[in-house]
Amino acid sequence: MTILFLDVNAATRGERAAALSQQTGWEVTSVATVAEGRAWLLKARFLDLLITEAIIDAENSGFALRDAALARFPNAHVLFTTRYDLTGYEAKISGWPVLADAPYSLEKLIAKSIKALEIDPPTQMLVLAEKSPPPSLQSGTMLGQYQVLERLSYENESETYRAIQVSVQRPVALVLLRPELLHRPEVVDRFKARERLKASIMHTRIAPLYEAGTVNGLIFYTRELPRGRNLEEITLAGETLSERKVAELLYGVAEAMDYAIERGCYHRRLESRDIFIDPQGQASIVNIFRPADSRSRDPKEEVAALIALVEPLTTDGKARGLIAKLSEEERDWKGLMDSLDDVRDAMRERSIMRRIEAEEGGGKSGGASTPWWIWVSALAAIGIVFALGNLAGTATPNVVAATILRTPEMVEIPAGSFKYQKNERRSLPAFWISRHEVTIGQYADFLAALKKTAATSFDHPEQPKTKVTHIPPKWSDTYAAAKAGATFNGQPISLNTPVTQVDWWDAYAFAKWSGMRLPTEEEWEKAARGEKGLLFPWGEKSAKDKANLGDDYDANGKKGGKIDGYNLFAPGDRACADVSPYGIHDMAGNVSEWTASEFRGESWPAHPDFPDLRIPVVRGGHFALKNSDDLLTTRFFTESASETTLARGFRVASDVAPTK
């Protein structure tokens, strides 16, 4: 029996928790605040009973903790304790038992806890009595054309499995009516009624039902496995969400919920495992909807529960501020969408160039799919920019059609002092750095090598377990166009074009595979500015035509590239004036670059606005960033090491001379 016990009174909390722990089989975790309770819930594997004070202070309540607990553990029981009169709070109590006579005795606390476990609905008690039984279907079992892989969840009347539709090799979620309930006609009828309702819901943000069937007497249906990761996986990976991602997530979920509820659908409470975020930052949900004869829910309570579910995933000030603002008043699903309209409109109004600049400074947008809301975020810039027309009217790129840059060409940077940032002198031992940014062709060799060795051989030790590939978004299309030396919807591209849309983990793995590493910020800056600390790689005078920068960038693609010849990224083998005193190319422009750390070592620097947040730093300008005197000294702080953008790549470094 797993119990979470919240008591704000330090004088009584320990004694009461100890009394509960003395009951046979009861494991008790005591907390003093709602925040501590929520933090525990994120890591907990089970919860049978939540005991919490109902009214805590003006900003916190046990009702919010109850909502967060049931969102993660829908079959848990709840017991409220209180020092106050709860008249008028009946709707928030929602029928859960209350221990009201504080200070209560230890005997009353134990007796009320036992009773709380006995008065829950029979369906919930059934789940508790049979907690985590063995799966009804073993891995490898075939149901028609579906092969079972693993069980994902266990519910009151069903089990959900990850499976493969063998005929088309499509991953699906297979929902099975629990075999021991097949003899109960009312349960079978209820399961089939839900099948029919789920099949009737057609919305891009709601996972569709594929097929319903019966094989060997077993009743099941299959549905889409949403793209991306669910909130539970993101939480377990220790990742957080930015303001932009929070806004898109909440809006997407609200849009899906409002669509279904407007059509008369009922639903169970959303859980962390039901809400997915795809690689483009768009939200979708599992089809949780049920016929109208099921239990109805208050939309305002459900919106509050969703906000409470997302709140622990926010760390930066803007995201926390958005959550706090949305928590100030009650609203239904449509009201939540209306509240987010201004936030999302402000994000949409930014140009693609400004969005990419914001990404390099710490703000990251999500992408989308075919509906109108697909084009609202920065990764949508990938689709928009690749969809640009031809480059008629731009300057003619001066490309040296020479050999393909199959391996990074390394250049020695001699030992000695150099000017760092504005006026600081630092010293470095000799090191080597690649003359060019890592190319599409070089990265393709890396991906090919991964197929022949252990997939995790070159991963950073702290790489999130949920990251299972180093393949960038839209890689197959990009690589095919690069191999052909063609244009990709109007954008010139070749195997010598810098690889982009790679996150820090990708860059680290490539560098390790190649026998090298990522350059530190100090190394990057010395290689770019030389010993004297030049403002630009070529000298002290600004020259818009010497680097591939954003002074001629056109988001529509029709007039871009008139100054430097390229609207987007340029191939590394072109004739280039963006060359440092050591002969290193494209430090001022083309694409910005990941670095390893501020100093030698494994640790990342602290974010200047959030000292507790340590993240890798990006250096250098890019094709959408305008020319300025601080291109080589600005430190761009990302949101996380998992961030990607069309305007960012990397180069490699080494402590030893390259092997000939």
Kindly write down the DSSP assignment for every residue of 346-357, as one continuous string: HHHHS-HHHHHH
The pLDDT, as a whole number, for residue 654 is 95
Highest mean pLDDT among 271-275, 377-381, 523-527, 543-547: 523-527
Task: Choose the weakest-confidence range: 382-386, 488-492, 585-589.
Answer: 382-386
Q: For the residues 23-45, what does the mean pLDDT come to?
A: 86
As given in the structure block, the two tokens for residue 604 are: 């990342």
Whether the predicted pLDDT of 188 surpasses 90? yes
Q: What are the residues whose beta carbons fall under 8 Å from the beta carbon of 451, sequence distance 6 or more?
A: none
The pLDDT, as a whole number, for residue 353 is 44
d(CA 107, CA 19): 9
What is the average pLDDT value for the chain, to the nearest integer?
82
pLDDT, tens digit (0-9, with 9 covering 90-100), for 370-416: 333 333 333 344 343 334 333 333 444 444 444 567 789 999 999 99
Q: Cβ atoms within 10 A of the Cβ of 180, count? A: 11
The pLDDT, as a whole number, for residue 294 is 56
The pLDDT, as a whole number, for residue 139 is 85
Structure-token match 């027309």, residue found:
389
Give the β-pairing of 410-413 and 431-434.
Answer: antiparallel
Q: For the residues 591-608, what does the mean pLDDT come to?
A: 75
The pLDDT, as a whole number, for residue 318 is 81
3-state secondary structure (DSSP) of residue 303: helix
The pLDDT, as a whole number, for residue 390 is 35
Q: For the residues 53-68, what does the mean pLDDT come to?
A: 81
Segments of 123-179 assigned E as strands = 142-143, 146-154, 158-165, 170-177
Q: Cβ atoms within 10 A of the Cβ of 416, count? A: 11
Which residues face 487 on adjacent strands?
Answer: 492
The pLDDT, as a whole number, for residue 358 is 47
In the DSSP assignment, the letter for residue 314 is: B
The pLDDT, as a whole number, for residue 343 is 73
d(CA 191, CA 315): 40
Whether the predicted pLDDT of 364 surpasses 50? no
d(CA 499, CA 509): 14
Specify whether the CB–CB gap between 591 and 647 falls below 8 A.
Answer: yes
Q: For the residues 225-253, what does the mean pLDDT come to?
A: 85
pLDDT, tens digit (0-9, with 9 covering 90-100), for 1-33: 899 999 988 888 889 999 999 888 899 999 988
First to last CA, the chain: 64
Peptide bond into 103 cis (omega under 30): yes
Whether the predicted pLDDT of 242 surpasses 70? yes
d(CA 616, CA 166): 42
The pLDDT, as a whole number, for residue 58 is 60
Q: Which residues of 92-128 are buried (b: 16+ CB within 10 A; e: fewer)?
A: bbeebbbbeeeebeeeebbebbeebbeebeeeebebe
Q: What are the residues whose beta carbons fall under 8 Å from the beta carbon of 264, sequence distance 6 or more?
A: 292
Q: What are the residues whose beta carbons fall under 8 Å from the beta carbon of 596, sequence distance 6 or more?
A: 517, 518, 519, 520, 521, 616
Query: What are the two backbone dihedrals, phi and then psi, of residue 354, each rounded to the nearest 5 degrees?
Result: -65, -35
Task: Choose the weakest-confidence range: 485-489, 561-565, 655-659.
Answer: 485-489
Kindly write down the DSSP assignment for every residue of 578-609, as one continuous string: -B-TT--BSSSSSSEEE-S-SSSSSPPPBPSS
Highest mean pLDDT among 231-235, 271-275, 409-413: 409-413
How many helices (H) and strands (E) the chain has is answered by: 18, 27
Q: How large a percentage of the chain has pLDDT more than 70?
A: 84
pLDDT, tens digit (0-9, with 9 covering 90-100), for 497-508: 999 999 999 999
The pLDDT, as a whole number, for residue 268 is 80
Highest mean pLDDT among 92-101, 282-291, 309-318, 593-602: 282-291
Specify whether the CB–CB gap between 572 and 562 falls below 8 A.
Answer: no
Whether the predicted pLDDT of 264 surpasses 90? no
The pLDDT, as a whole number, for residue 455 is 65
The residue that leads in pLDDT, 522 or 58, is 522
Specify whether the CB–CB gap between 158 and 175 falls below 8 A.
Answer: yes
Burial of 402 (0-12, 13-18, 19+ CB in 10 A): exposed
The pLDDT, as a whole number, for residue 490 is 65
CA distances from 511 to 369, 462, 495, 637 (A): 33, 16, 18, 21
pLDDT, tens digit (0-9, with 9 covering 90-100), for 620-641: 999 888 899 999 999 988 878 8
The pLDDT, as a whole number, for residue 250 is 93
Q: How large a percentage of the chain has pLDDT more than 90?
A: 33
The residue that leads in pLDDT, 224 or 133, is 224
CA distances from 155 to 124, 127, 184, 219, 240 (A): 9, 7, 16, 15, 28
As given in the structure block, the two tokens for residue 601 are: 């070592």
Q: For the residues 54-69, what does the mean pLDDT come to?
A: 81
